[in-house]
Amino acid sequence: MENLLKNKNIRVTPFRMDVLRVFNSFENAISLSQIEEKLGSFDRITLYRTLKSFQENGLIHEIVMPGDIKKYAMCEEKCGHKEHNHQHEHIHFHCKKCSEVYCLDIPALPNFHFTNYTIENVEIQVKGICEKCQK
Amino acid sequence: MENLLKNKNIRVTPFRMDVLRVFNSFENAISLSQIEEKLGSFDRITLYRTLKSFQENGLIHEIVMPGDIKKYAMCEEKCGHKEHNHQHEHIHFHCKKCSEVYCLDIPALPNFHFTNYTIENVEIQVKGICEKCQK
DNA sequence: TATAATTATGCAACAATGTTGCAATAAATA
DNA sequence: TATTTATTGCAACATTGTTGCATAATTATA
């Protein structure tokens, strides 16, 4: 599992391994507080910096939605360094009942075109009711 | 202009009119700090509550993007009460150069389908370079 | 493998952002 | 115009995020 870090040029430290294990222990995208709960005791600042470096190096991506929803999820292997190379061929689905955020695969991102606008990055967010909460 | 508030069942007060005028003085989506600058002197808490009630009543919508980007933009006339009725047939375009956020019209939202997931709301965010920053 | 260069950690202090309760006040309703 | 109902402004607090710096750990180098 160390290689997940090494492959993205992230120095391996015990704390970063702890955080990585937290990600691996969840199915879906997770919030800061979920990470904090799992970690138990930790330094808040170090955690912020860890998440920032994970993001910058394409190991995780941030998912934000209206209503102060902010979560983190693992990127795919291929995901590149630095923010501008994050490109995910999936949508982010937020369940209004259980508040889980799922990364759902789609065949391809829709293709927009606006004259004179250069499009570098597309994100799609969907809200609704997830599979498990359908009753 | 009072009617913009009345039509959405928002009580008309001097402060709310001030905030509304701020929105009308900008072309694109605006940030909290842009509102604050325009207002000059004001009560911070009242502003938060004003924005919240504008949102809840479908007068404005919140736009959030990875990287702590949070902006507000006016809704269309038809936009309904309460958060869950916000549905905008436009995408949010964030320019990486000038940081403006544009609401750009699209003919229709793409149509996703995931077995056993109920989709209520779709948001699309695009990053790139806007018209004006193309050089 | 010991050393040097580089990066990460933990702490303190601070800054920004957002919330709650409550009394006073203003707006809509009868 | 009196009554009901919602808004305002203030204090206090809670949450979230950042910076600088000395120490410690990791990686690269000789």
Residue with tokens 């001030």: B18
Chain A contacts in chain B segment 72-111 (CB below 8 A): 83-84, 91, 93, 96, 104, 106, 110
The β-bridge relationship of strands B90-95 and B101-105 is: antiparallel
Which residues neighbour A135 within 8 Å (Cβ) at sequence distance 6 or greater? Answer: none
Task: Give the residue from A85, A124, A130, A135 with the most B CB atoms within 10 Å of its CB, the best one to mutate.
Answer: A124
pLDDT value of residue B135: 78
Burial class (CB in 10 A: 0-12, 13-18, 19+), A71: buried
Mean pLDDT of chain B: 92
pLDDT in tens, A87-124: 778 999 999 999 999 999 998 888 888 999 999 989 99
pLDDT in tens, B50-67: 999 999 999 999 999 999
Euclidean distance between CA atoms B126 and A5, whole angstroms: 29
What letter would DSSP give residue B29?
Answer: B
Q: Delineate the domains of chain B, giving CATH numbers in brackets.
A: 2-134 (1.10.10.10)
Residue of A67 and A86 predicted with greater confidence: A67
